[in-house]
Structure 1
Amino acid sequence: MKSYIPTIDELLRLPKRELDAIFRRAASVASDATQGPQAREAAERTVENVRRCRLCPPGP
């Protein structure tokens, strides 16, 4: 997992299936103790952004 954290705006443009895949991968990295602290933190923030994105209603 990279240290890059996608923004909510970027995530809103993705299809649901891709969001699900990003969420699963990020959750896996966030819970993996063998990953570095920077990667785990980025993964945790990504998980949180995906959760927020799922709650956002679609745009106009």
Structure 2
Amino acid sequence: MNDRPPQTAASLCRSCASKRDVVTGKGSRFLLCERSRTDPGYPKYPMQPVVSCPGYVPLGNPPARE
């Protein structure tokens, strides 16, 4: 039995306004970075856990439109 928390638990992505949860038909879960749509410097599906990100915006504070 594995009692470790999911890797994403400590990730900034979990509480970022630019994050969108993606669940496949088979039940796999991924965190999509919406910033990747307009800025190629951000990966579409960042490797987890993310501990530092210049584009991090806490939930409740939507990213500014550029």
TM-score, structure 2 length as denominator? 0.23
Bigger relative CO (Cα 8 Å, ≥ 6 apart): 1
Structure with a larger share of its residues in strand: 2
TM-score, structure 1 length as denominator? 0.24
